């Protein structure tokens, strides 16, 4: 079993190194094929591990080697395959295998084909380290690793020039990559502080040492736990793009679409949720109930907030990115309410249908020659039947329509909000479910139905390659069936995670609640159908209304950040550069150099070649030394 | 009564004359004379001190210095003759060929 852990972990790493050997040569299709096969091997190993754990209920610990051993500090490279990590491993390796296969087709014409696979596999390796590590230090390495790979992949087309925000809200791939990286740095500082607090108070970073000690600390001072929980959650907020660190996620859509599917929808952005689930003994304590409640509230707020921005957006990928944000909000809502297994369940189900949705969007993009404005599409159903089917299916799952995956997972989250007796959160989540259905189908209808607006722009869409479409099918199947195993999944992960049971009261009302949510979802779809299925009718009046412009500009938050943070920071940097760096630091260094230079230049005249002068200088030197000796002897 | 200080003052005066010669003179031969004066200034100081402290070591050093000065002059004068044959002058200002 230990070998399987290593295979699951290192197959992506080998794949990355393999692709790395070919980065300097032109496209080699076999690089993509080998990478996909190695990822598939990783998936197989993860599945066998999962099967083993399901059957025997035995947690597998692997200690590869000591990493840091200094005094009392001992951090090993240790990995654990337990119920939570194995779920994540299967999800990550499955989605990434599909995305790798997809990328062979999608990146077909890219001149950096080989480099892409190297980065993509390196990302999967980092993600595996993140989910499998048995200590916070390993988790942090994976955390930073996925951050770096995300940066590399968002900025994959780094050669594109910067444009203004009016033309492209994300300015350029390299700008977006830097934004994502810097925002994550801010959050990672919080996470590091959290890890330090934990180490300082427990003397270890191993999960199985840290968590049992938490109750002792709670007796002495609960403030420590609260601070640690807040600090760790700040880290989670950055990675999972929660408000106010959310702007990077939509800008991250500048990366190639497979990247958006794998990293910015299915896996990396869920790392924050995973952290909260992993640290559930901390977040679930009585003492930090306030923090957990904040997590739930923030999650609900983000779910609503992101969905509202998706309502009016015109960019195909950005709509899906907003929906990712919104769904991450749902997951945090569940985790904050203590329903950790439901959060994990939604995480897994969401990964499947969201990756499918993104890959479908990639097909559309490929067909439309990188056009992303859904107002310029329409009627693509005739040309792209498969993609239409996939995206329709994924949107139904996202909207939470019975019997697809999203229905089971999202419904459970909304139920748990009701179960906690928090009707405000519940109502917001229900309304958001309706909005989710609306914007998902607004996008589907505007893309695939109605008048063929693309003809004006002289685009001839074509369906994606067959093997790519077949490669996407596992996600489509899972988007349908993933929800059916809900009860089994609950039994499986609650071996490790705290069980969360609905109260009697909720249990009685469960049918009513489900019907309420479904009514909202279906009516969302119907409104979208009513408005958009026959074609796009733009209304000047609505588009100029205050609310429409507010939402279309993302509540002006990117502009606000630019004005309030980026520009003053740039100004300040300018001042520091010109007045402090140039006038003080640089001037000092220059002065030192000048002194040496000038004195050298001056003393060069001593080298006259005339022995008489030399003798005079020698005498001068001897007298000077004598005087110095005299002074020092007088002064004692 | 002539004491140690008188000898040392004479020695110091001689040394200063020699030093001034080393600094001011331009002729190599004169430089040699100046260094000899300085050496002998030291010799006077050695001999005087040796006498006043009843310690023969100082006089021994003075003999050594005389011997070394003699050999130095033998070698130095030979070199001076060669330089004179080569350049036709012993003036330092004309011999300055290694300007930095």
Q: Which residues of A touch B98 (CB under 8 A)?
A: 609
For residue A353, give every residue at least 6 positions away whose Cβ sits within 8 Å of its Cβ, in sequence order, or none: A393, A394, A397, A398, A404, A405, A406, A475, A478, A479, A482
Query: Quick one: which of A145, A119, A149 has its CA closest to A132?
Result: A145
Could you give phi then psi for residue A165, rounded to 5 degrees?
A: -65, -25
**Partner B, chain A 552-611, Cβ-Cβ below 8 Å:** 604, 606-611
Domain ranges in chain B are 4-95
Q: Is the peptide bond before A587 cis (omega within 30 degrees of 0)?
A: no
The reply to whether residue A615 touches residue B31, judged by beta carbons under 8 angstroms, is yes
Q: Which residues of A touch B96 (CB under 8 A)?
A: 608-611
Cα–Cα dist A339/A499, whole Å: 8
Q: How far is CA A285 from CA A422, A494, A501, in A?
A: 19, 17, 17
Q: Please, how many CA atoms are within 13 Å of residue A163, restricted to the half-sphere of its CB?
A: 11
Using the predicted structure, report yes or no on whether residue B97 has a pLDDT greater than 80.
no
**Are A374 and A443 spatial neighbours (Cβ–Cβ below 8 Å)?**
yes
Q: What is the per-residue pLDDT for A451?
A: 83
Using the predicted structure, report yes or no on whether residue B37 has a pLDDT greater than 80.
yes
Structure tokens at A560: 């606000």
Structure tokens at A94: 């499955």
**Are A236 and A331 spatial neighbours (Cβ–Cβ below 8 Å)?**
no
Regarding beta strands A60-70 and A73-81, do their DSSP bridges make them parallel or antiparallel, or are they unpaired? antiparallel
Please, which residues bridge with residue A66 across strands? Answer: A76
- How close B68 comes to chain A (CA, Å)? 21
Query: Quick one: which of A172, A155, A154 has its CA closest to A163?
Result: A172
Q: What is the per-residue pLDDT for A168?
A: 78
Among B25, B26, B96, whose Cβ lies nearest the Cβ of A609?
A: B96
Q: Which residues of A touch B18 (CB under 8 A)?
A: none
Q: How far is CA A54 from CA A59, A89, A159, A489, in A?
A: 10, 14, 48, 10
Buried b / exposed e over A66-93, threshold 16 CB at 10 Å, is eeeeeeeeebbbbbbbbbbbbbbbbbbb
- What's the residue count for chain B? 100
Torsion sign (Cα): B44, B45, B48, B53: negative
According to the CATH classification, is domain B4-95 in 3.30.70.1150? Answer: no
Supply the pTM of this predicted model: 0.81
Using the predicted structure, report yes or no on whether residue B100 has a pLDDT greater than 60.
no
Angle between helices A405-419 and A504-532 (to 10 degrees): 130
Q: What is the per-residue pLDDT for A628?
A: 96
Is A511's Cβ below 8 Å from some Cβ in B? no
Q: What is the per-residue pLDDT for B99?
A: 65
Could you give phi then psi for residue A564, rounded to 5 degrees?
A: -85, -30
Query: Quick one: which of A151, A152, A130 has its CA closest to A84?
Result: A130
Cα–Cα dist A331/A335, whole Å: 6
Among B26, B31, B99, whose Cβ lies nearest the Cβ of A609?
A: B99
Q: What is the per-residue pLDDT for A466?
A: 87
- How close B29 comes to chain A (CA, Å)? 13
Q: Which residues of chain A have pLDDT under 70?
A: none
Q: Report ipTM (2 d.p.).
A: 0.84
The reply to whether residue B97 touches residue A609, judged by beta carbons under 8 angstroms, is yes
Q: Which residues of A touch B31 (CB under 8 A)?
A: 615
For residue A615, give every residue at least 6 positions away whose Cβ sits within 8 Å of its Cβ, in sequence order, or none: B22, B23, B31
Among A607, A609, A616, whose Cβ lies nearest the Cβ of B23?
A: A616
SS3 A384: coil
């Amino acid at each position: 079993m230990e070998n399987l852990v290593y295979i699951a972990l290192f197959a992506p790493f080998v794949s990355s190194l393999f692709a790395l050997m070919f980065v300097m040569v032109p496209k080699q299709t076999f690089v993509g094929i080998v990478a996909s096969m190695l990822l598939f091997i990783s998936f197989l190993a993860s599945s066998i591990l999962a099967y083993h754990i399901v059957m025997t209920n035995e947690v597998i610990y692997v200690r590869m080697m000591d990493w840091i051993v200094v005094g009392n500090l001992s951090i090993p490279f240790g990995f654990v395959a337990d119920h939570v990590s194995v779920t994540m491993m299967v999800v990550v390796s499955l989605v990434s295998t599909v995305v790798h296969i997809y990328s062979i087709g999608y990146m077909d014409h890219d001149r950096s084909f080989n480099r892409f696979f190297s980065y993509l596999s390196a990302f999967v390796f980092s993600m595996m380290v993140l989910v499998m590590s048995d200590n916070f230090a390993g988790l942090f390495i994976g955390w930073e690793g996925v951050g770096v790979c995300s940066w590399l992949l968002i900025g994959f087309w780094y050669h594109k020039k910067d444009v203004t925000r009016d033309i492209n809200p994300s300015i350029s791939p390299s700008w977006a990559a830097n934004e994502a990286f810097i925002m994550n740095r801010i959050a990672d500082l919080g996470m590091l502080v959290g890890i330090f607090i934990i180490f300082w108070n427990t003397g270890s970073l191993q999960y199985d040492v840290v968590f049992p000690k938490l109750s002792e600390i709670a007796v002495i001072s609960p403030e420590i736990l609260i601070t640690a929980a807040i600090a760790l959650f700040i880290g989670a907020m950055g990675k999972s793009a929660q408000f106010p660190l959310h702007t990077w996620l939509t800008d991250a859509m500048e990366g190639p679409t497979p990247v958006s599917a794998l990293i910015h929808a299915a896996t990396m952005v869920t790392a924050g949720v995973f952290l909260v689930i992993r640290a559930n003994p901390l977040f679930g304590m009585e003492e930090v109930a306030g923090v957990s409640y904040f997590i739930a509230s923030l999650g609900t707020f983000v779910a609503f907030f992101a969905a509202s921005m998706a309502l009016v957006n015109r960019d195909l990928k950005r709509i899906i990115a907003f929906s990712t944000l919104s769904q991450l909000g749902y997951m945090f809502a569940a985790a904050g309410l203590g329903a950790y297994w439901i959060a994990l369940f939604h995480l897994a189900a969401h990964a499947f249908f969201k990756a499918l949705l993104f890959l479908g969007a990639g097909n559309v993009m490929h067909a439309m020659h990188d056009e992303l404005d859904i107002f310029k599409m329409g009627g693509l159903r005739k040309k792209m039947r498969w993609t239409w089917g996939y995206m329709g299916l994924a949107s139904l799952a996202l909207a939470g329509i019975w019997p697809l995956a999203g229905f089971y997972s999202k419904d459970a989250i909304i139920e748990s909000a009701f179960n906690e007796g928090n009707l405000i959160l519940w109502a917001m989540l229900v309304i958001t479910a309706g909005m989710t259905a609306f914007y998902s189908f607004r996008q589907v209808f505007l893309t695939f139905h109605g008048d063929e607006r693309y003809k004006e722009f002289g685009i001839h869409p074509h369906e994606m390659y067959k093997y790519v479409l077949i490669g996407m099918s596992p996600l489509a199947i899972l988007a349908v069936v993933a929800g059916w195993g809900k009860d089994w999944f609950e039994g499986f992960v609650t071996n490790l995670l705290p069980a969360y049971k609905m109260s009697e009261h909720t249990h009685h009302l469960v049918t009513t609640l489900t019907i309420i949510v479904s009514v909202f979802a279906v009516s969302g779809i119907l409104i979208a159908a009513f408005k958009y299925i026959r074609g796009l009718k733009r209304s000047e009046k609505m588009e100029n209304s205050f609310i429409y412009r507010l939402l279309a500009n993302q509540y002006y938050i990117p502009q606000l950040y630019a004005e309030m943070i980026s520009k003053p920071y740039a100004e300040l940097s300018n001042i520091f550069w010109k007045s402090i760096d140039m006038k003080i630091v640089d001037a000092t260094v220059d002065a030192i150099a000048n002194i040496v230079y000038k004195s050298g230049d001056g003393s060069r005249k001593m080298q006259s070649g005339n022995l008489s002068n030399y003798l005079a200088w020698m005498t001068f030197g001897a007298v000077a030394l004598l005087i110095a000796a005299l002074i020092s002897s007088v002064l004692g | 009564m002539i004491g140690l200080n008188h000898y040392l003052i004479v020695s110091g005066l001689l040394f200063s004359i020699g030093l001034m010669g080393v600094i001011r003179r331009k002729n190599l031969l004169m430089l040699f004379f100046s260094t000899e004066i300085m050496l002998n200034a030291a010799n006077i100081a050695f001999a005087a001190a040796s006498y006043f402290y009843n310690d023969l070591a100082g006089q021994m050093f003075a003999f050594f210095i005389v011997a070394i000065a003699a050999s130095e002059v033998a070698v130095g004068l030979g070199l001076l003759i060669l330089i004179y044959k080569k350049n036709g002058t012993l003036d330092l200002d004309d011999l300055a060929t290694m300007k930095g």
